[in-house]
Amino acid sequence: MEDRLNQDLKQAMLAKDATRVSVIRSIKSALIYAKVAPGATKDPEGAMSDETVLSIIAKEAKKRQESADMYVQGASQERADAELQEKTVIEKYLPKQLDETEVKTVIEEVISGMGEVSTAQMGQIIGAVKSKTGASADGALIARLVKERLS
């Protein structure tokens, strides 16, 4: 995954695509920060697993969405559009996102495997669903659907 980012950065620089260059650089910066952070998970050569890279990229996409939402609330549509454009570039590196129906199916699988469940087990259920779906489902969507299912 890191190699793909490096190749895409080179292509974006050659194409003089300032937005893609900026976004890919910010992703690479987040990856470097994660590598040097205490407790970082990496192999001895310094490479990170693709799952770790994907989770960092997903966090970057979520940051862009949250920023865009804040700009919309602050009546700055131009800045919101810029954040959403960056998010679109980032999402090209993420796996296809599951829709609500697919997430509900995974939730039902997890709950049926647990037997009788209560709202006190919401955190366990959310964690199990997140581990099954990985970066292909939004955590907020999972939490909302689990809460609806248990209510």
Give pLDDT tens digits along the chain (151 positions). 888 999 999 999 999 999 999 999 999 999 988 888 776 655 546 677 778 888 889 889 889 999 999 999 998 899 999 999 999 999 898 888 888 888 888 888 888 887 777 778 888 888 888 888 877 787 788 888 888 888 7
Do 9 and 37 lie in one domain? The reply is yes
Indicate the helix (H) or strand (E) that contains 50: helix 50-73
Q: Which two tokens stand for residue 120?
A: 């006190």
- For the question of whether the overall pTM of this predicted structure is more than 0.75, the answer is no
**Quick one: tokens of 14?**
């050659």
Q: How many CB atoms within 10 Å of residue 100? A: 11
Q: Of 42, 69, 91, which residue is a domain's last?
A: 91
pLDDT value for 43: 54
Burial class of 28 by CB neighbour count within 10 A (0 to 12, 13 to 18, 19+): middle
CA contacts within 13 A on the Cβ side of 76 = 11
CA 126 vs. chain centroid, Å, equals: 16
> Looking at the structure, do residues 65 and 18 belong to the same domain, yes or no?
yes
24 and 87 together in one domain? yes
pLDDT of residue 85: 93
Residue range of the domain that includes 16: 2-91
Q: What is the pLDDT of residue 20?
A: 93
- Domain ends where: 91, 114, 133? 91
Chosen domain end from 48, 71, 91: 91
